Structure formats: C-alpha cells, structure tokens
Amino acid sequence: MAEENVLLCEQLSHIYANGVQALANINLSISQGEYVAFVGQNGSGKTTLVKHFNGLLKPTQGKVLVFGESTQDKKVSYLSRRVGYVFQNPDDMLFCSSVGEEIAYGPRMLGFDQGEIDTRVQKILTELDLESQREIHPFALSLGDRQRLAVACALSLDPQVFVFDEPTTGQDYFGGKSIMMLIDQLHAKGKTIIIISHDMPLVAEHAKRVVVLNKGQIALDGTPETVFSYTEKLRQLSLRSPQVTLLAQELGLRDRTLLRVPQIVQWLEAEYLPSPKRIQGGQV
C-alpha cells in the first residue's frame, strides 16, 4: 500500500455559526488505499469532520489538505473530483428523470465532453449492475438500488477517495450487504474508503482502521482489533464492541481481540475441541 497522504488534518477545529464547537484540534492523516471507519455517538463530530474532506465545511482553525492542497479556497465542485461523498439518504442526491441521466449529470456539470460522459455512464452501469434500469426513474428503484445509484453518481466523477455517511442505514440485511460489497470492491481497486457508521459489527468486518470521535476530538485511533479491545473505554464513550468481541472476552480470551464469528469458532475449536472424535462421541 502506498503511503501517500491523501487527506491531512492539522490542528483542525470547527465552530458553527451558532457557537457550537464541533471539532477541536484534530490531527489526522489518511493514506492512499486506506479503509477508515469513523465511529462515535451522535454529536461527536463525525459528519462535521468528513464534510471537511471535500470542502463542504471549511476549517475555522487549522487546515485540511486533500492531496496536498488546502481545502480553504477550493470549491466543492473542484474537490468532488477527488473526494466523492455519498450521503446517508440517497434521495437527497437524486432528481433526474432516469438512472442514466442521473449518472451523467455530474460529469456534464464539470464540462466533460459527450463521448467521455457516455463512456463513464456505460462503465458504471455495467460495474454496478444497473444496466437494466438505465431508463427507469430513480424514485422507482428500491432503497438499496437508490443507494447504489447514489454511489454511481459519486463514481461518475472518478474520485480517489470515497466518503460514505452511514451507508447501510434503513437497508435490510441483503441491501446492506450489497452496499458493503460494493464499497469493498472499490477498496480492492485501490480507492480510499471512509465510512461513518454506528454499526460496530459492520465496522469490525470491513474497516482496516477505526477512529473513535468524542466531543469533537479523537479518542481512539487504530486497527479494529486494537480499538475494540478497549471495551471499557468504548463503554464510557457510549459505544459497544461487537458482540463477538465481548463474547470472546467473557469466555476468557484476553491476549487478542476477535471480531468475526469464524474467528471465535476457530478459537473455540482450538481451545476446547482438540479431537474431532470427541465431537462425534458427543462428549463435549
């Protein structure tokens, strides 16, 4: 993985017009190809922080650099070619009369020629399995497909970094899985992924780095294994490690943190089921 910083926050603070301080002295760097999840209770500053990454919000103190450029004097339309942002509610992003038009809108706004627009739209429709719905009105799609379309809209500007604000909210299990698979695919292609989520098992399963925010400051920052090992600290911050992690801790595992069901099954088998014969004999 390349080590180039795609996002850098230096002493970043943000105070809203009503006087509320949402961020205080954030120092953070995110490298190319990272998969970062921001977690924290409501009002901790997650959304405020990520809205600085594409210039939707400007620092009131400190600075944010995107690919080495300060966001302070850059327009969102310029930064959106580098940092794509997918909102929690896809319906806030959609307004065109067909799926194809919706995807073409961003590149058209940025002045791409028609040939380039057509190529991009076709590529994205194929990649996101939306080809059959090209002429359909966006609001005739299911919520899951509207969320995919919102991702497609961000993808049409071909950014290197994607920000997803609670991508699975309101989705059923399979809808959520489908979106997360899509995000994982983007990551596998080398895109830098930033997600905001309250879903700790989802974060544990997908993210490679977890940043916990509390009262506008970074409380924890590390791999999911590291962050979710601080069970008590997380509890103080009104967060909860995944149930799998807590179960493993309750069962006495102290030297490492387990995040996924297969891990705990593997550990239990290794710890308590040394011989397959014992299972067959029903002695466990």
Partner 1 sequence: MMNINLKSQKSPFQKLDGRSKLVALAVIFTLVLLFSHWAYILGLLVLVMLIWWVARLPFNMIRDLFKFFLVIAVVILVVQIFFYPGTTNLFRISNPIRVIGFSGYITLEGILFGIAMVLRLVVIMIVAPLLVMTTPLPDLMLALVKLKVPYRFAFIMTTALSLLPSIQNHAAIIQQAQLCRGITYDGAGKFFAKLRASVALMVPLILGTFRDSQTLEIAMSSRAFGAPIKRTFLLESHFGVADYLILVFAILLLVGGIYLRARGFGAY
3-state secondary structure 97-150: CCHHHHHHHHHHHCCCCHHHHHHHHHHHHHHCCCHHHCCCCHHHCCHHHHHHHH
Q: How far is the CB of 55 from partner 1 (least distance, A)?
A: 8
The Cα 211–Cα 196 span in angstroms is: 10
Q: How far is the CB of 110 from partner 1 (least distance, A)?
A: 5
Q: How far is the CB of 176 from partner 1 (least distance, A)?
A: 21
257: left (phi over 0), alpha (psi -120 to 50) or beta: beta
Residue with Cβ nearer partner 1 (24 or 110) = 110
HSE-up of residue 60 (Cα within 13 Å, Cβ side): 14
CB 43 within 8 A of CB 20: no
Going by C-beta distance under 8 Å and a sequence separation of 6 or more, which residues neighbour residue 41?
A: 214, 237, 238, 239
Q: How far is the CB of 163 from partner 1 (least distance, A)?
A: 9
Residue with Cβ nearer partner 1 (166 or 248) = 166
* Site of interaction with partner 1 (CB under 8 A): 18, 51, 54, 56, 75-77, 80-81, 84-85, 87, 89, 91-95, 105-107, 109-110, 139, 153-154, 157
Residue with Cβ nearer partner 1 (85 or 230) = 85
Residue with Cβ nearer partner 1 (63 or 81) = 81
Q: How far is the CB of 35 from partner 1 (least distance, A)?
A: 20
CB 213 within 8 A of CB 47: no
Q: How far is the CB of 201 from partner 1 (least distance, A)?
A: 27
The Cα 179–Cα 157 span in angstroms is: 19
Residue with Cβ nearer partner 1 (153 or 227) = 153
Residue with Cβ nearer partner 1 (95 or 272) = 95
HSE-up of residue 259 (Cα within 13 Å, Cβ side): 19
